[in-house]
Amino acid sequence: MNFSGLDVDERIHIKPLAPPPKKSPAAFSWAAAGALVVLLGLGGWLAYQHFAPIPIDIETEAQIDNTEPCDIKVSRFAADTNVVVIDFPDLLTQGLMLDRVAALIEKAGLPRDRVLGDVELNQAIANCGDTVETYYYGHDYQAADLAKFFALAQAENIPLNSKELWLKRLLNQLGWLTPGATGALITLPAATPPVNETFRAVILRHELSHGAFYTDAGYRQYATDFWNGLPAADRAAFTRFLGSQNYDTTNTELMLNETQAYLIFTRDPHFFTAGAVGMTDDQLNSLRQSFITAMPQFWLTPMASSPLPVSTTPDSCPV
């Protein structure tokens, strides 16, 4: 699929008018005034469409989980408003907005110092055996990662698609493209095949743990210390598993961040099992419990042991 085809030129082209008939000065004045009103009205409407703030709610995990978005929806996470959630109506929309970011920030074997063009991105996705939809089922990035992406894309004159430009608009609104900004962006898709309600809840909790890692310095340090305290064989086992998922295994922080998310917050055999890291269920449960026992007390802590929210079946989107 060619990403460049998504860049639509939405400028208004005005056909030159025929020379106007001669009119009295008064008549011309009224005509000009009327035309000015129309143009100002149109200009104001276009400006509103381009610059109107993107609506942002504040929602809990359960509220986000029980939403079935028919369009892109943005929320601040209620327990930590520095975590911003983008809820997508489908995997395709999510992929078009964030696959290129993923390629820059954390996918294996790709450059960390430049943004891929459309052809390279399509090839990178194909090389993983994936599609635009399945490159990731959920995304997570800290503000600095996103600022880096857009700065490089601008410096290299990389054409971005309409979804990526919408993301840039959101980040500008949040103030995340300025140096030193604090924030975590996490995403998830609606429960449309191949994602069901259970998968959606699992993805959300997994991504929320990444949000905590990026915005809570104490938790970030705890996860780092836990990783460093693991036996070398266990670190190697998690690294192999994450490598099989096409994560960049040379990035130690990425490895330990994903380890805490999979080990503690991804308890679904469709996504992660003890066998994936060469352990028995008892060994994995013991490792998991050791993490939870010493975990800092904050909003993420109850999620380490509590069941996923019970999803309701929302109304279907209008056709």
Q: What are phi and psi of 113, to 5 degrees?
A: -115, 10
Higher pLDDT: 229 or 33? It is: 229
Over residues 34-44, the mean pLDDT reads: 45
Contacts (Cβ under 8 Å, ≥6 apart) of 107: 124, 128, 135, 246, 247, 248
Q: Do residues 280 and 274 touch, judged by C-beta distance below 8 A?
A: yes
d(CA 135, CA 112): 17
d(CA 31, CA 92): 48
d(CA 26, CA 40): 21
d(CA 293, CA 264): 12
Burial class (CB in 10 A: 0-12, 13-18, 19+), 181: middle
pLDDT band of residue 311 (cuts 50, 70, 90) is: confident
Quote the pLDDT of residue 50: 59
**Structure confidence by residue, pLDDT tens digits, 259-303:** 999 999 999 999 999 999 999 999 999 999 999 999 999 999 999
Whether pLDDT at 17 is above 70? no
Residue 255 is given by DSSP the state H
Contacts (Cβ under 8 Å, ≥6 apart) of 171: 143, 146, 147, 150, 177
Whether pLDDT at 68 is above 60? yes
pLDDT band of residue 56 (cuts 50, 70, 90) is: very high
Tokens of 77: 């996470």
Lowest-pLDDT choice from 95-104, 270-279, 306-315: 306-315
- Three-state secondary structure readout of 39-67: HHHHHHHHHHHHHCCCCCEEECHHHHHCC
List the helix and strand counts (H, then E) for the chain: 11, 5
Lowest-pLDDT choice from 29-38, 65-74, 133-142: 29-38
